[in-house]
């Protein structure tokens, strides 16, 4: 158990809808990272937050947004969902900007 | 642009064999970090190691060892005396000073009893 929690575990929704994925980092970790893993694209880095501030942006679509709250938990918002957004979404946390500890992931299915 | 190549898509070995997973990277940065992660069949991702670009010392951790060679832009991972529990997909990743992460496509390792 990495100490990182993600909710929900599974999410099934329809195209065009909006969903929010939640991540609680390990106690004391200031960095939160979001990743998408799909069969087509492999593992892709989406975005990183450090102590509430956006630190780095990867291949995140404009339909997606994220934030990190004062209590350091983070939410990834996915809107106008398309079939191709179906994937496993991982959150990771770490102290500083290097090591990462991953949550169990949220499996999103868009129908 | 940064890129990570893991040329071995799948590897099968018999238990107790040694196996090396290859990772070749491309970056223009002089400061960067290299990582290895393991994704067992259960699906979670496990961080294995981080190496910075200024430290070319090889590292050993139990049955795991890593060989970082800047001259060939490689960061290979060797499992000695493999075990069935080592069966997983292994990802190599590159980060420019801890910001953007680029992952390789992964190598699926199957260790047969």
Token pair 């947004």: residue: A65
Residue pair B51/B58 in contact by the 8 Å Cβ criterion: no
- Report yes or no: A111 and A12 within 8 Å, Cβ to Cβ: yes
Q: How confident is the model at residue A100, as a pLDDT?
A: 86
Residue B56 — pLDDT band, cuts 50, 70, 90?
A: confident
Residue B5 pLDDT more than 90? yes
Q: Do A97 and B99 touch (CB under 8 A)?
A: yes
Interface test with A, best of B6, B9, B47, B106 (most A CBs within 10 A): B47
Tokens of A83: 């079939």
Asked if B100 lies within 8 A of A56 by C-beta distance, the reply is yes
Pairing of strands B107-112, B10-14: parallel
C-alpha B21/C-alpha B75 separation (Å) is 9
- Residue A96 is predicted with a pLDDT of 64
- B66 at the A interface (CB within 8 A)? no
pLDDT grade for A1, boundaries at 50, 70 and 90: confident
- For residue B34, what is the nearest residue in chain A, using CA coordinates? A98
- By the CB < 8 Å criterion, does A2 face chain B? yes
Per-residue pLDDT of A35-63, as tens digits, reads: 999 988 889 999 999 999 998 888 899 99
Instruction: State residue A95's pLDDT score.
Output: 81
Report how far residue A102's alpha carbon sits from residue A32's, in angstroms, rounded to the nearest whole number: 10
Are A90 and B45 within 8 A, CB to CB?
A: yes
- The percent of residues above 90 in pLDDT, for chain A, comes to 83
CB contact under 8 A, B100 and A45: yes
Q: Which two tokens stand for residue A75?
A: 């939410």
What integer best gives the mean pLDDT of chain A?
Answer: 93
Is the separation of the CB atoms in A7 and A22 below 8 Å?
yes
Tell me the per-residue pLDDT of A61-108, one tens digit each, with 9 for 90 and over.
999 999 999 999 999 999 999 999 999 999 999 886 567 899 999 999
């Amino acid at each position: 158990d990495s100490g990182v929690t993600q909710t929900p575990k599974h999410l099934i929704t329809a195209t065009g809808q909006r969903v929010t994925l939640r991540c609680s980092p390990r106690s004391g970790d200031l960095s939160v990272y979001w990743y998408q893993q799909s069969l087509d694209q492999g593992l892709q880095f989406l975005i990183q937050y450090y102590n509430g501030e956006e630190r780095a942006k990867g291949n995140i679509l404009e339909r997606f947004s994220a934030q990190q709250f004062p209590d350091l938990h983070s939410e990834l918002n996915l809107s106008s969902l398309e079939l191709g957004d179906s994937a496993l979404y991982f959150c990771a946390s770490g102290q500083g900007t290097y090591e990462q500890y991953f949550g169990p992931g949220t499996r999103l299915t868009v129908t | 642009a940064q890129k990570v190549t893991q040329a071995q898509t799948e590897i099968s070995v018999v238990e107790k064999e040694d196996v090396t997973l290859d990772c070749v990277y491309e970056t223009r940065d002089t400061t960067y970090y290299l990582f290895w992660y393991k994704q067992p069949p259960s699906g979670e991702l496990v961080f294995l190691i981080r190496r910075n670009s200024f430290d070319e010392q090889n590292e050993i951790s139990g049955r795991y060892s890593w060989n970082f060679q800047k001259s060939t832009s490689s960061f290979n991972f060797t499992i000695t005396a493999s075990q069935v529990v080592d069966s997983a997909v292994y990802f190599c990743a590159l980060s420019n000073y801890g910001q953007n992460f680029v992952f390789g496509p992964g190598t699926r390792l199957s260790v047969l009893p």
